[in-house]
Structure 1
Amino acid sequence: MILGVPWWVFMMILFIFVSGFMAFRAMRAEHRLEQQYIEQEGKIYIDRIEEERKQKQRQTT
């Protein structure tokens, strides 16, 4: 007993904080993956629009 509280209570509190930290890390990693996917899809979209613009310019000349 530490300060009249069983040791396992301190361990449970520690595990709660560790669990919260791990959840935060997972959330941050997932956000990064989503951002990478969004950037990749956006680049594909921009490339497609630029290609269509080039084709229109070729057709008009």
Structure 2
Amino acid sequence: MILGVPWWVFMMILFIFVSGYMAFRAMRAERRLEQQYIAQEGKVYMDRVEKERQQKQARRQQMS
């Protein structure tokens, strides 16, 4: 007993803090993955828009 409290109570409190820290790390890592995915999908979309814009310009030049 430490300060009148059983040792396993301190261990449980420690495990709660460790668990919270690990959950925070996992949440942060998942947020990074989401941001990378969003950036990648945004780039694909912007590439598609740019390709379409170039095709429109090519069609306009062919008509002139």
**TM-score interval w.r.t. the shorter chain?**
over 0.9
Unpaired segments ≥5 residues, structure 2: none
User: 1:1-61, aligned counterparts within 5 Å?
Assistant: 1-61=1-61
User: How far apart, CA to CA, are the structure 2 residues paired with 1:60 and 1:26?
Assistant: 51
The one-letter code sitting in structure 2 at the alignment partner of 1:40 is Q
Distance in 2, Cα, partners of 1:60 & 1:41: 29
Tell me, in whole angstroms, the C-alpha distance in 1 between the residues paired with 2:60 and 2:45: 23
Q: How far, CA to CA, are the matches of 2:44 and 2:29 in structure 1?
A: 23
CA RMSD across the alignment: 0.2
Structure label with greater radius of gyration: 2
- Structure 1 segments unaligned to the other structure (5+ residues): none
Aligned length: 61
CA drift of 1:41 comes to 0.2
Q: What is the rounded CA distance, in whole Å, between the counterparts of 2:12 and 2:51 in structure 1?
A: 58
Q: Report the TM-score when normalising by structure 1.
A: 0.99
Report the alpha carbon displacement of residue 19 of structure 1 after superposing the two structures with TM: 0.1
